[in-house]
Each structure stands twice: as structure tokens, then as C-alpha cells.
A = this chain, B = another copy of it.
Amino acid sequence: MPSLPDIMTPDAEALAKAAGKGRRVTLPAGSPEHDLFTGLTRMGDNTLILGHRVSEWCGHAPVLEEDIALANVALDMIGQTQLWLGLAGTVEGHGRSADDLAFLRDAWHFRNLLLVERPNRDFGHTLMRQFLFDAWHQPMLKALEGSSDDRIGEIALKAGKEVAYHLERSADLVIRLGDGTEESHAKMKDALERLWPYAGEMFLADEVDVRLAHEGLMPDPAGIRPAWDETVAEILAEATLNRPDSDFAHKGGKQGRHTEDLGHLLTSMQWLQRAYPGATW
């Protein structure tokens, strides 16, 4: 009988160590450190989950140039994740690395927006999701440049350069597909209507946001809305798409209440580190 080589052997010591790494945040809720940890994981979990979603297109995009462009955007976001979650681990002070936070937390510890965990569906839907996110991400990073914490300002400055390009690209594609053929227009209209109820969460502040804004660490999310509204109005007009009327907003992602889709994404994303914690190349 043909037999495969024993590719990897799980390591009992590494598994035991991992048990502690997946644990709940131990910082006291409401403490400045806990607030900052939460704010940083919100930034890092957004880029991690959206980065992973976009990476699912690798090898499947409609044309080679878009395949490579999507992979580059995904890589930018994973790189930003490394910075945000790395700083989150430092702030927490319990020795968790960016990798530990990415691969060993469970769904209910993730703090990303529900928007970024939406499944890819078709290419137009993926680009519409990216555009709605980028149009928030760009002014958010701009505001974070002025954080009272220099470490945050530095990450925001670096990420902002990449995201300016992401926004230019996703806006351009939303226009080309919205103002394209009858079929591409219909798909972009459908994507906009599906995703719109997930946009509002980006501007909803909770107590953590209020305290972080008070300390000058991170901006009040509501303050990002005017810039987003302006970009969205301009691009949708060019794309011959109507802005949906409804203001209904799904919420909960920022507080750890997620849709089933995040769970499925994590089982796939975290498999290796769950089965073989501490595995290295």
C-alpha cells in the first residue's frame, strides 16, 4: 500500500502552551489598558479578516491582473494586522504575539466589523465590500495619525499609504462595474443593497470608543462619517448607483457577536495552529 510520509507530528508541549494563548483577555474591563487593547484588536481584526477573505480569491479572480492585485491588497492588510495585533499584545503585557492573537482566539474574542466577515460572493460584491471599507479605513487612519500614542500614529501613517491606493483601486472598479454593462450594473446594485446594512456599524461608538476618544488615542467613529459620506456619494454617482435609503445597521461585531460566517472562516484560517501550535517553517 502506498503510504504518505508523516508530514508533521503534533507537539504535546506546544499544544499545552497554546492552551494559555487562546485564553480570554485578563485585563480588567474598563481599564485604560483593556480599552486600548480592544481598540487595537478592532483595527487588527478588521484587516486580518478582510485580508483573509480577499486572499480566498487567490487563483480564482476573473483575470490574472485582478488576481495579483487582490493578492497584493490582501498582503497589505495582513501586514497591517501584524502591526496592530503586535501592538495589542504589547499593550496587554501577557506575552501574546500577533500570531497568537490571530490563530488562537475564538470567534467571540474577535472584534472586527461584521462588514469584513461577509462572504465574497461574486467579484463585484467583493469590490463593493472593499470600497465601503476603504472609504472608512482611509479617513480613520488619517485621524489615527494624530493619536496621543506615537506607536499608533506610526502604524496609521504606514498603513495609510497602502490604503490610499486600495481606495483608489476599489473606487475605480466600483465605477467601471456600476457604469458598465447591464449585467455588471445589476450585480453592483445587488451588492450595494446586500452590504449597505453592514456599513452603519463603522460609525457606532460604544463606551470603549468614547473613552479612547477622550484620551485622544483613537477618534470618535461618528467623526469619520462625513468623509465617508462624501466619498461614497461621489463614487456611487459616477457608478450610476443609488445610495440605499435605509439607515438600518447590523451591529455587534466590535463587541464580539459575530455571524456564522466568521466561524467558518476561522476554522479554515486557524486549522494549522490549532492542530500544530507553534509550528514553524
A-side interface residues toward B, CB under 8 Å?
Answer: 1-4, 6-7, 9-20, 22-24, 29, 38, 106, 108, 206-208, 255-257, 263-264, 267-268, 271, 274-275
Decide if A264 touches B268 in the complex (CB within 8 Å). yes
Residue from B16, B108, B255, B274 in contact with A7 in the complex, judged by beta carbons closer than 8 Å: B108
In the complex, which residues of chain B have a beta carbon less than 8 angstroms from the beta carbon of A267?
Answer: 267-268, 271
| Known contacts A255-B1, A267-B268; A6/B29 CB under 8 A | no
Pick from A2, A4, A17, A19 the residue with the most CB of B within 10 Å: A19
| Known contacts A15-B18, A16-B15, A16-B16; A256/B23 CB under 8 A | no
In the complex, which residues of chain B have a beta carbon less than 8 angstroms from the beta carbon of A206?
Answer: 1
Cα-based distance from A1 to B255 in the complex (angstroms): 7
Residue from B9, B19, B255 in contact with A2 in the complex, judged by beta carbons closer than 8 Å: B255
Closest Cβ–Cβ distance, residue A217 to chain B (whole Å): 15
Closest Cβ–Cβ distance, residue A258 to chain B (whole Å): 10
Cα-based distance from A103 to B199 in the complex (angstroms): 38
Cβ-closest chain B residue relative to A271: B267
In the complex, which residues of chain B have a beta carbon less than 8 angstroms from the beta carbon of A23?
Answer: 9-10
Cβ-closest chain B residue relative to A18: B15
In the complex, which residues of chain B have a beta carbon less than 8 angstroms from the beta carbon of A207?
Answer: 1
Closest Cβ–Cβ distance, residue A255 to chain B (whole Å): 5
| Known contacts A106-B275, A268-B267, A274-B275; A10/B19 CB under 8 A | yes
Cα-based distance from A9 to B22 in the complex (angstroms): 8
Residue from B10, B12, B38, B264 in contact with A1 in the complex, judged by beta carbons closer than 8 Å: B38
